[in-house]
Amino acid sequence: MSHYLDISQVGIEFPTKNGPFRALDGVDLKIAKGEFISLIGHSGCGKSTVLNIVAGLYRATEGAVVLESKEVNDPGPDRAVVFQNHSLFPWLTVYENVELAVKQVFKGRKSKAEMREWIEHNLELVHMTHATHKLPAEISGGMKQRVGIARALAMEPKVLLMDEPFGALDALTRAHLQDALMEIQAELNNTVILITHDVDEAVLLSDRIVMMSNGPAAKIGEILHVDLPRPRDRLTLADNPDYNHYRAEVLTFLHRKQAKPDVPATKKKPALIETPPALKKVVGG
């Protein structure tokens, strides 16, 4: 397997008033082009921290992230981020929200006509062409998230980073968006890293599920290869013994970690470790 994205022995510490807090320690993961990876684990296990380091929003204390032989040190359009909050600009239409990212990335590289065609293409991918001229306040939460995904895809990223993108949605909308994401990934062969707390979501979508140990100094506990044929249909898989085996493997890991946590119950993650302001400025998020 070729190493398209290499997360190599990554560790990170954050300063606190009580001294350095080590959030990650020796995280090592090799990801192939077109692979769909899910990160799962209990709250505080460093999933979002890993994602933020890959996005270039955090700088690792040691180790490195290398994408196509180039070290990642800063944010860039080659790594688009989709957050749980759609982060659309409320005063811009659906089209204009996607256009903003396209102009930033492709200014001077695409003509106005090419940019218009590209924006329309990405809205079509997420089935949102019917709402092109609507404002965010005029569409549902699921539709807003579709637009956020279209905006990220329109940047033509090498890696799509998704931080619990469906976590705030109802079950039916979440299922529809999971299906849409599988269709898009099959068509575009995106490399995707998804953070989720949903075991079924991880098994349904992933090629591999990366299960994180509890922090501090969180590591990769286990990696589960999900060898289910694609395209995947959730109704068919419901009675599939392999699907249920993978699901049980993840649940066993999570329950084992809950029963014997790596962090004493009295020790909490420092409150000052927050989402950096840079996150809110990323066009892909």
- For residue 77, what pLDDT is reported? 92
Instruction: Report pLDDT for 2.
Output: 54
pLDDT for res 271: 42
pLDDT at res. 258: 61
CB 94 within 8 A of CB 149: no
Could you give phi then psi for residue 64, rounded to 5 degrees? -155, 160
Name, in order, each residue with C-beta under 8 angstroms of 52's C-beta and a sequence gap of 6 or more: 58, 276, 279
Tell me the pLDDT of the chain (285 aa) as tens digits. 457 999 999 999 999 998 999 999 999 999 999 999 999 999 888 999 999 999 999 999 999 999 999 999 999 999 999 988 878 999 999 999 999 999 999 998 999 999 999 999 999 999 999 999 999 999 999 999 999 999 999 999 999 999 999 988 899 999 999 999 999 999 999 999 999 999 999 999 999 999 999 989 999 999 999 999 999 999 999 899 999 999 999 999 998 866 554 544 444 444 444 444 444 444 444
Q: Are strands 79-82 and 62-67 parallel, antiparallel or unpaired?
A: unpaired
Q: Are 134 and 167 in contact (CB under 8 A)?
A: no
Sign for the CA dihedral angle at 248, 254, 255, 257 comes to positive
CA angle 235, 238, 243 (to 5 degrees): 125
- pLDDT value at position 61? 95
Contacts of 29 (CB under 8 A, 6+ apart): 6, 7, 37, 210, 220, 223
Residue 259: what pLDDT? 55
Q: Give residue 274's pLDDT.
A: 45
CA dist 247 and 254 (Å) reads: 11
Strands 36-40 and 208-212: parallel
Q: If one looks up domain 5-281 in CATH, what number appears?
A: 3.40.50.300
Residue ranges per domain, the chain? 5-281
* Secondary structure string (H, E, C) spanning 89-156: CCCCCHHHHHHHHHHHHHECCECHHHHHHHHHHHHHHCCCHHHCCCCHHHCCHHHHHHHHHHHHHHCC
Q: What H or E segment, with its residue span, contains residue 243?
A: helix 241-259
